[in-house]
Amino acid sequence: MPDQSEFRFQVNLSIRVFGMDANCHPFSQDARAQNISDHGARLSGLEKPLRPGEIVGVQLGGKKARCRVIWAVDGGPGQKIEAGVKMVEGQPCPWEKQRATQRASATAPMVRTSPASKDKRRFRRLRIPFPIEIRDGQSVGSHMPAQTQDIGGSGCYIETLQPLPVGQILDVAFWLNSERVQTSAIVRTCDGGVGMGIELIGLDESTQKRLQKYVEDLAAGSALSRHAHGAF
């Protein structure tokens, strides 16, 4: 498959970066995003060492995205750490507005090549807050309320500083209109200091499709409401 051109722009954006550092300690700090693109950026001003391959959270204003660390360089005494990050597939671009401004200006972009990719999920994930309850499938304790960062018919992602380990079985409950749905689930991804991805393994195909339609309707209603209030 041929590569696609990816335009990069030199900026200097104030952002927040959070997650687990190379020493397995949670962190959250202000940094700068530079050399932005549709799918990533160069981060500077980092105070904690990062390990390539790990997932960190990046926030610009009210927009968040999960990113994979591609490289990290320590500038030595008196210098802070720089890192290159790439957004996890399916994540929105936090600096979309700034990128559009750069495109519309006379600023000449730099060209990089980036391989095309496909979203292999059967159900499209929607970035909406959706309340669910989770409980360790091996315990008899009470459910812990949580809220998704994104969700689709077969799974969701929950932002939490203390995600559960990959492979852990959970009991999950949520509401579809007036119906309470309970199902088993499994932790598929664990991003320390950021969150965890959960697959809803106990749902039949019919319920998966109902959940997908329900969250799509919620997302559409939320978009209409923001538009009506001039948020776009």
- Residues 109, 8 share a domain: yes
Residue 213, domain member (yes or no):
yes
Q: Which domain holds residue 35?
A: 4-114
pLDDT the model gives residue 123 = 86
- Residues 91, 20 share a domain: yes
Per-residue pLDDT tens over the stretch 81-97: 899 999 998 888 999 88
- Residues 71, 11 share a domain: yes
Under the banding of pLDDT at 50, 70 and 90, the label for residue 144 is: confident
pLDDT the model gives residue 16 = 95
Percent of the chain predicted with pLDDT > 70: 81
Asked if residue 113 has pLDDT above 60, the reply is no
- Residues 143, 107 share a domain: no
- Residues 135, 85 share a domain: no
Find the mean pLDDT for residues 134-138: 79
Of 82, 114, 146, the domain-final residue: 114
Asked if residue 1 has pLDDT above 50, the reply is no
Per-residue pLDDT tens over the stretch 34-92: 888 888 999 999 998 898 899 999 999 989 999 999 988 886 666 688 999 999 988 88
Residue 13, domain member (yes or no):
yes
Of 89, 114, 139, the domain-final residue: 114
- Residues 64, 143 share a domain: no
Which residues, other chains included, contact 220 with Cβ-Cβ below 8 Å and sequence gap of 6+?
A: none
- Residues 99, 33 share a domain: yes
Per-residue pLDDT tens over the stretch 157-177: 998 888 889 889 899 999 998
Decide which of 22 and 77 is more confident: 22
- Residues 142, 101 share a domain: no
Are 34 and 11 contacting, i.e. CB atoms less than 8 angstroms apart? Answer: yes
Residue 124, domain member (yes or no):
no
Overall number of domains in the chain = 2
- Residues 171, 81 share a domain: no
Residue 20, domain member (yes or no):
yes
- Residues 13, 94 share a domain: yes
- Residues 104, 138 share a domain: no
Residue 153, domain member (yes or no):
yes
Task: Give the burial string for 13-22 (b: 16+ CB within 10 Å, else e).
Answer: bebebbbbbe
pLDDT the model gives residue 173 = 92
Separation CA 183–CA 123 (nearest Å): 17
Per-residue pLDDT tens over the stretch 173-222: 999 989 999 999 999 999 988 999 999 999 899 999 999 999 999 988 77
Under the banding of pLDDT at 50, 70 and 90, the label for residue 116 is: very low
Asked if residue 110 has pLDDT above 50, the reply is no
Decide which of 203 and 116 is more confident: 203
Of 114, 143, 160, the domain-final residue: 114
Residue 15, domain member (yes or no):
yes
What is the three-class DSSP state of 209? helix
CATH number at residue 151: 2.40.10.220
Residue 197, domain member (yes or no):
yes
Residue 125, domain member (yes or no):
no
pTM of the entire structure?
A: 0.66
- Residues 99, 163 share a domain: no
Cα dihedral 142/143/146/152 (nearest 10): 170
Are 191 and 85 contacting, i.e. CB atoms less than 8 angstroms apart? Answer: no
